[in-house]
Amino acid sequence: MGATTGADRPRKKIQRKRLPVAPYFVALLAVIGVLWASSVAGAGLKFPTPKLGLDLQGGLSMTLTAYLTNSDDQPDEETMEQARQIIESRVNSTGVAEPEVYVEGNENIVVNVAGHDTDEDALRDVGAPAELRFRIVTASTQDFSVLEDLDLGDGEEPTDEATDGASDEPTGESDEEVGDGEEPTDETTDDNSGGAQVDTENDQDDQDQTPQGDASIEDILAKVGEEAATMAQSLTTVPTDEASLAALEPFGELTPEEVGLLPASVQYYVPTITCEQLDARPPGSVQEPDAEVTACQPAVTEDGQMVAPPQKFLLQSATVLGSDVASADVGTDQASLNNFVVNVEFTSAGAERWGNLTTENVGQNVAIVLDNEVVSAPTIREASRNTTQISGDFTADEANQLADQLNFGSLPISFVVQTINDVTATLGVVQLEAGLLAMGIGLALVFLFCLVYYRILGLVVLGSLTTAAVVLYPLVALLGSQIGLTLTLAGVAGFVVAIGITADSFVVYFERIKEEMRDGRSARSAVPRAWIRTRRTILSANTVSIIAALVLYFLAIGPVRAFAFALGVSTLVNVLVVFLFTHPIAEWMARGRVLSNVHLSGLHTKAVPAPGKARG
Amino acid sequence: MSTHNTDKPLSMWSKLYRGETNIQFVPHRKRWYLFSAIIIAASIAVMIVKGFSLGIDFAGGNQYTVPAEGDVTITEVEDAASAAGAEVASGQIAGSVGDQTFIIRTATLDGDQSQEVRQAMAEAAGISADDISISEVSATWGASVSQQALIALIIFLILITGFIWLRFERRMAVAALGALGHDLVLTAGVFSLIGFEITPSTMVGMLTILAYSLYDTVVVFDKVQENTANLLQTRQRTFAEGVNEAINETLMRSLNTSLIGALPVGALLFIGVGMLGVGTLKDLALVLFVGIITGTYSSVFLAAPWVVDMAERSPVYKKHNQKVANKRSGTRDEDDEDDAPNAKTEDLPIELVEEEEEPATAGAGSRSGGSRQGAKRQQQKRRRKR
Written as one string, the DSSP assignment of A143-179 is -HHHHHHHHHH-TTHHHHHHHTT--SPPTHHHHHHHH
pLDDT in tens, B337-356: 444 444 444 444 443 433 33
**From CA A339, how far away is CA A357, in angstroms rounded?**
26
B37 pLDDT tier (thresholds 50, 70, 90): very high
Whether residue B331 has pLDDT greater than 50: yes
B90 has a pLDDT exceeding 70: yes
Size of interface A-B (CB pairs under 8 A): 273
pLDDT band at residue B38 under the 50/70/90 scheme = very high
Cβ of B227 under 8 Å from any chain A Cβ?
no
Note the pLDDT tens digit of each residue in A62-80.
Answer: 888 887 766 666 778 888 8
**Which of B60, B249, B272 lies closest to A438 in CB terms?**
B272
Quick one: pLDDT at residue B44? 92
The DSSP bridge partners found for residue A320 are: A134
Q: According to the CATH classification, is domain A54-125 in 3.40.718.10?
A: no
pLDDT band at A148 (very low <50, low <70, confident <90, very high): low
Nearest chain B CA: its distance from A441 CA (Å): 7
Does the distance separating the beta carbons of B145 and A560 come in below 8 Å? yes
Nearest CA in chain A to B5: A610
For residues A183-192, give the mean pLDDT.
37
Question: If you write DSSP's letter for every residue of B307-362 in order, what string do you get?
Answer: HHHHHHTSHHHHHHHHHHHHHHHHHTTTS-GGGSSS--GGGS-HHHHHHHHHHHHH
Q: Residue A179: its pLDDT value, please?
A: 34
- The pLDDT assigned to A254 comes to 81
Which stretches of B168-279 are DSSP H helices?
170-194, 200-228, 239-271
The helix/strand/coil state of B370 is helix
CA–CA min distance B320, chain A (Å): 23
Q: A437 to chain B: which residues are within 8 Å by CB?
A: 271
**Chain A residues touching B253 at Cβ < 8 A:** 504, 507-508, 511
Which residue from B minimizes the CA distance to A606?
B6
A560, A605, A615: best to mutate for the B interface, most B CBs within 10 A? A560
Helix (H), strand (E) at residue A392: strand A387-394
Most trustworthy range by pLDDT among A226-230, A464-468, A609-613: A464-468
Rounded to an integer, the average pLDDT of A430-456 is: 78
Q: Where are the domains of chain B?
A: 32-54+142-315, 61-137
What part of A 514-553 touches B (C-beta under 8 Å)?
A: 514-515, 518, 533, 536-537, 540-545, 547-548, 551-552
**Mean of pLDDT values over A260-274:** 82
Predicted local distance difference test score (pLDDT) of residue A188: 36
pLDDT category at B175 given cuts 50, 70, 90 is very high
CB proximity list for B41: less than 8 A, separation 6 or greater:
none
Q: Residues A310-324: what's their mean pLDDT?
A: 84
Report the gap between the CA of B52 and the closest CA in chain A (Å).
Answer: 20
Q: List the 116-135 stretch of B: residues with Cβ below 8 A of A.
A: 135
Contact (CB<8Å) A504/B215: yes
Compute the nearest-CA separation of A142 from chain B (Å): 40
Residues of chain A in contact with residue B94, where contact means CB-CB under 8 angstroms, are: 61, 421-424
CATH class assigned to B32-54+142-315: mainly alpha
Say if B259 is an interface residue toward chain A (CB within 8 Å).
yes
Query: Which of A422, A494, A497 is facing B94, going by the closest CB pair?
Result: A422
> Is residue A332 within 8 Å of A340, Cβ to Cβ?
yes
Q: What pLDDT does residue B373 have?
A: 47
User: For residues A465 and B264, what is the distance between their CA atoms, to the nearest angstrom?
Assistant: 14
- Tell me the mean pLDDT in the region A292-315: 79
- How far is it, in rounded angstroms, from Cα B381 to Cα B344? 14
| Class of the CATH domain delimited by B61-137 | alpha beta
Domain coordinates in residue numbering, chain A? 3-50+427-601, 54-125, 144-273
CB contact under 8 A, B60 and A431: no
Backbone angles phi, psi at A132, to 5 degrees: -100, 135
Q: Is the pTM of this model over 0.80?
A: no
Using a CB-CB cut-off of 8 Å, the residues of chain A touching B91 are 426, 428
B219 in contact with chain A, both atoms CB, cutoff 8 A: yes
Tell me which residues of chain B, numbers 32 to 61, contact chain A at a CB-CB cutoff of 8 Å.
60
Residue A280, pLDDT > 50, answer yes
Check whether A1 has a pLDDT greater than 60.
Answer: no
Are B138 and A84 inside 8 Å of each other by CB? yes
The Cβ-side half-sphere exposure at A369, using a 13 Å CA radius, reads 35
Q: What is the per-residue DSSP string for A224-268? A: H-HHHHHHHHH-SS---SHHHHHHTGGGGGS-HHHHHHS-HHHHH
Q: What is the mean pLDDT of the segment spanning A165-191?
A: 36
Structure confidence at residue A207 (pLDDT): 38
Residues 6+ apart with CB under 8 A from A232: A224, A248, A251, A266, A269, A270
Chain B closest-CA separation from residue A421 CA (Å):
5
pLDDT band with cut points at 50, 70 and 90 for residue B182: very high
Residues of A in contact with B208 (CB under 8 A): 494, 497, 563, 567
B342 and A613 in contact by Cβ < 8 A?
A: yes
Shortest CB distance from A441 goes to which of B92, B267, B276?
B267
CA distance A329 to chain B (A): 22
CA distance A167 to A142: 14
In 3D space, the residue among B192, B191, B187, B247 whose CA is nearest the CA of residue B212 turns out to be B187
Q: How confident is the model at residue A215 (pLDDT cuts 50, 70, 90)?
A: low
- Mean residue pLDDT of chain A comes to 74
Cα torsion B340, B344, B345, B349: sign: negative
The yes or no reply on domain A3-50+427-601 and CATH 1.20.1640.10 is yes
Question: Mean pLDDT lowest for which of A92-101, A370-379, B248-257, B317-326?
Answer: A92-101
Residue A339 CA, chain-centre distance (Å), reads: 19
Please indicate whether, in this complex, the C-beta atoms of B385 and A616 are within 8 angstroms of each other. Answer: yes
- Please tell me the predicted confidence (pLDDT) of residue B43: 92
Interface test with A, best of B64, B256, B289, B386 (most A CBs within 10 A): B256
